[in-house]
Amino acid sequence: GQQLNQSPQSMFIQEGEDVSMNCTSSSIFNTWLWYKQEPGEGPVLLIALYKAGELTSNGRLTAQFGITRKDSFLNISASIPSDVGIYFCAGPEPGGGNKLTFGTGTQLKVEL
């Protein structure tokens, strides 16, 4: 099946710093979704992207749909302690109906 690789696997940053992470695929995706999961909770949808090149913001979060359609990026500006969690990218499997493939995740830890 599809594999979505996320980079970095984890990052430890200081409060106030900007954060960048990415998600890459070996094949083309028509939709990219970004989720955040906190410990012991289900993932929460942050941003949905539907067009190549699209740039969408949600507060301090900005995500971009790569023009090759094989990658997507998530940026968090001025990180705060509550940004801690695991960020997953996801996209619909080709021919898989509404099934999503999830990325490997990027764990974010924020130092005060």
Binding site for another protein (CB under 8 A): 31, 33, 35, 40-45, 48, 88, 90-92, 97-100, 102-105
Write the DSSP symbol of residue 96: S
Q: End-to-end alpha-carbon separation of the chain, Å?
A: 40
Least distance to another protein, CB of residue 57, Å: 17
Closer to another protein by Cβ: residue 20 or 102: 102
Least distance to another protein, CB of residue 69, Å: 15
Least distance to another protein, CB of residue 16, Å: 27
Closer to another protein by Cβ: residue 10 or 68: 10
**Tokens of residue 8, six digits:** 């970095």
Say which residues have a Cβ less than 8 Å from residue 68's Cβ, sequence separation at least 6. Answer: 28, 52
Name the residue with tokens 């997953």.
88
